[in-house]
Amino acid sequence: MISAIVLWAFFVINLLLFLYAFIQVKNSGKTIKFLISWGFEDGIFVWEDAVIISIYNILTTLIAIILQDLRWAITAYLIFWIIRGLGETIYYFLQQFFPVKQYPHNQVLRITFWKKLFGNVSEQKYYILSQVTVEMVTSLSLLFLIMVLHFWEALAPFRWI
């Protein structure tokens, strides 16, 4: 029962997020608005991310609801973070080591979590901290995915509580 409530709540939250993000993107023209302060945990950095990621979450949550198995939602979430983490890792490598900088991260340097934590960090420190953080998220996601697959049967009580 708890799993069903969690899945349905996640579904509704992502449906509302999709609708709101769609309106934000549609009405923003060429402006990009950052959501790093609250969206990072879900891999959402801008409203455009929110549109696409919420669709993914809606679809994968529906699969878990139809199968009545929370393990599929957990697996989908971990797969997302492996892919997202690898993409962000590559992005930060390119930003850090190639002279032509790409939007949007140069615009975000002044409002970053790292500046709040460490004070006035350099651009190089920003990219190192961000790159390694995303690498760790990717690594942990892969580890947790392997654990979920290894303990798949032991997690059977979470199928539909």
SS3 13: helix
Q: Which amino acid is at 105?
A: H
36 or 68: whose pLDDT is higher? 68
Whether the per-residue pLDDT at 14 is higher than 90: the answer is yes
The answer to whether 11 and 62 are in contact (CB under 8 A) is yes
Averaged pLDDT score across all residues of the chain: 80
Band of pLDDT at residue 117, cut at 50, 70 and 90: confident
Strand partners, 34: 46
pLDDT of residue 8: 93
pLDDT at 37: 67
- pLDDT > 90 in the chain, percent: 9
**Residue 44 lies in domain:** 2-158
Tally of structural domains, the chain: 1
Q: Which of 34-43, 66-75, 150-159 has the lowest mean pLDDT?
A: 34-43
Other CB atoms within a 10 A radius of the CB of residue 12 amount to 12
Asked whether the beta carbons of 114 and 129 are under 8 A apart, the reply is yes
pLDDT at 22 over 60: yes
